[in-house]
Structure 1
Amino acid sequence: MLFSLRMLLLGLQFLLAGLAGLLLGLCRPFNPDNSRLCARLYALPALCVLRLKLKAEVRSLYGQDRPCVIVANHQSNYDLYVLGRVVPPRTVSIGKKSLKWIPFFGQLYWLAGNVLIDRGNTRQAKQAMLQTTETLQRRATSIWVFPEGTRNLGKGLLPFKKGAFQMAIAAGVPIIPVCVSNYAGRLKLNSWSSGRVLIRSLPAIPTLGLTLDDLPQLMQRCQQLMSECIEQLDRQVAGA
């Protein structure tokens, strides 16, 4: 009963947040801070509906005085609510081109200045990557990326794709890993309290002076740091 009620309320809230975000995007199209505001529109009411206890330690995420590439583990569609709570100012993301067909959400996603790419079209994908480099260097805007490229369903990090790290090296900006405890498949949506999730951002990893020859080592270092952090967060949740 509680599960059905929650799903109904989340569906309604998704539509209302999408409409509000679309109006915001129309009032100030492509403003890079639209993403943060829209993320809050989705996240804050949804976390209340879910009664999901969320603790965030993200000082490094907000302590930057320059653009960066933010990389986070991607577990499920609920990431919209979980990670939407911590999106910093002037941050856009990279998403699949198919997102634009989602009513309200797709249109506001585009108007918020996010980058839509067609992963099946190599030429357009490369063009989008060039656009993101310009965004980082000239628009003083950070970019949020899920380097796994797809949802891992809470079963551990999948192999990272190169795009986020290539962008960071090309623009000479730091990488900030954001780690979320594994919650996918563990939420108790039919209970009064759905569960507990921990989020932690790691210290910035500099890329200035690196070349594409350093790419494999950079990816390996980032994945190892994130994997260790997620394991630590999981232990904290289990011991609570």
Structure 2
Amino acid sequence: MIMSFFDQFMIPQTLGVPLILIAVAIPPLLILNSSNRLVSNRMSTLQAWAIKTFTKQLMLPISITGHKWTSMLLALTLLLMSLNLLGLLPYTFTPTTQLSMNMALAIPMWLTTVLIGMRNQPTISLGHLLPEGTPTPLIPILIIIETVSLFIRPMALGVRLTANLTAGHLLIQLISTAAFVLMPSMTLTASMAFLVLLLLTGLEIAVAMIQAYVFVLLLSLYLQENV
């Protein structure tokens, strides 16, 4: 039987139920909840410190009116990071390799930042479409270019996340397949391929966390322009 390397990106089903629904529901269960104890444990303390540090770094450049987005951006970061990391486990599925899901996250969030800017400061938001000091003959062309770049932003968010995770998963499958096939005949080459596989897996873990942070960081930059 001939299998395609891209079969791993198909949504598996069990009894007619897409497993992507279960994959999306698992990460919120992994987040620790605050307890009523006077002294918290090490995991809760570490989680609180990480959340505080991340929130401070992310929301510091944004004005006070944009701080109400803190909980939403933090929840989105934890969701993406959990989905990306869980997808690296054996016999699992990564929902964030699906462009449809990433676009479903990117478009509403981007559109909300644009609508907030249009409501709170319409003059400044429309002024972003035309840089100050532009020569008169270039005004129509620059307005078209800036408008296109504005509408490309959600596409860039979704495609960046999908492409990075898809490329990493494909490389891992290619190298692991090569190591498995070469093991009986070329043991030394297979061992080197396995070593490269271990290094690539560590790199992919870093990419999974970095891409979740980059996704939310770009959203915060879009929000900063509109509040």
Q: Scaled by the length of structure 1, what TM-score is found?
A: 0.25
Of Structure 1 and Structure 2, the greater strand share is in: 1
**The structure with more radius of gyration:** 2
